[in-house]
């Protein structure tokens, strides 16, 4: 798989609730932006913890209970801080790549009884339109080609593998199940193959 050509734009110190991190900004030749949040020196260990995370304004900033995205982000940063080493890649792929406005439209259809996959398809959109080439390019630029991946998503695992990243271990992030997200999590498991237990 061809990876995007990227350049490192800049980096800065970023003190967070999980401890000190370094925030790196990347730009591809097609104008795509990508970011990574790094603690410790991930390139110095054989397979550091890595989370590849897609933007979710509703779950991360507005603390929506419809999804588990904000919780996954916090859980990943907590695990990295416990090990004092790790890297989080943040991609601008709201709504599994369909964008915020389409995500709102899909949510409206879910309010009428459709599941998350059916809603996207009814809008003429793919169930998942994300691409992980930028993530793989950033990993390689940071000197990482073998990682322990924090994910429940088999497509993410497979996509990174196809991009030349060795996944030494897949570590699931177990979501809190609530009335508001129970159907969503069930759909991800049954229709998208998400796995919430270790391999």
Contact 151, 52 (CB under 8 A): yes
Contact 116, 4 (CB under 8 A): no
Q: Among 128, 142, 148, 170, which one carries the catalytic annotation?
A: 128
Any residues with CB less than 8 A from the CB of 169 and at least 6 apart, and which? 47, 148, 149, 199
Would you identify the CATH topology of the domain 6-93+130-171?
Answer: Rossmann fold (3.40.50)
Q: Among 51, 130, 142, 148, which one carries the catalytic annotation?
A: 130
Query: What does the domain layout of the chain look like in residue ranges?
Result: 6-93+130-171
Give the pairing of strands 6-16 and 33-39. Answer: unpaired
CA separation for the pair 107, 51 (Å, rounded): 26
Q: Which of 125, 163, 148, 139 has its CA nearest to residue 199?
A: 148
> What phi-psi label fits residue 53: left (phi over 0), alpha (psi between -120 and 50 degrees) or beta?
beta
Tokens of 36: 């990574």
Cβ neighbourhood burial of 179 (10 Å; 0-12, 13-18, 19+): exposed
Q: What is the pLDDT along the chain (199 residues), one digit of tens a residue?
A: 689 999 999 999 999 999 999 999 999 999 999 999 999 999 999 999 999 999 999 999 999 999 999 999 999 999 999 999 999 999 999 999 999 999 999 999 999 999 999 999 999 999 999 999 999 999 999 999 999 999 999 999 999 999 999 999 999 999 899 999 999 899 999 999 899 888 7
Give the pairing of strands 33-39 and 19-28. Answer: antiparallel
Q: Is position 46 annotated as part of the catalytic site?
A: no
Q: Is position 199 annotated as part of the catalytic site?
A: no
């Amino acid at each position: 798989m061809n990876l995007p050509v990227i350049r490192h734009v800049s980096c800065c110190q970023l003190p967070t609730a999980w401890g000190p991190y370094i925030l790196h900004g990347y730009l591809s030749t097609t104008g795509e932006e990508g970011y990574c949040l790094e603690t410790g020196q991930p390139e110095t260990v054989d397979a550091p913890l890595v989370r590849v995370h897609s933007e979710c304004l509703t779950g991360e900033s507005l603390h929506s209970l419809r999804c588990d995205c904000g919780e996954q982000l916090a859980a990943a940063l907590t695990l990295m801080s416990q090990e004092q080493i790790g890297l989080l890649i943040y991609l601008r792929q709201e709504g599994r790549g369909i964008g915020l406005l389409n995500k709102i439209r899909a949510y409206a259809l879910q309010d009428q009884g459709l599941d998350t996959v059916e809603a996207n398809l009814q809008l003429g959109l793919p169930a998942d339109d994300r691409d992980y080439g930028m993530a793989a390019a950033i990993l390689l630029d940071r000197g990482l080609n073998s990682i322990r991946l924090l994910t429940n998503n088999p497509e993410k695992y497979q996509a990174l593998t196809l991009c030349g990243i060795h996944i030494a271990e897949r570590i699931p992030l177990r979501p809190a199940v609530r009335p508001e997200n129970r159907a969503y999590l069930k759909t991800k498991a049954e229709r998208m193959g998400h796995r919430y237990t270790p391999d």
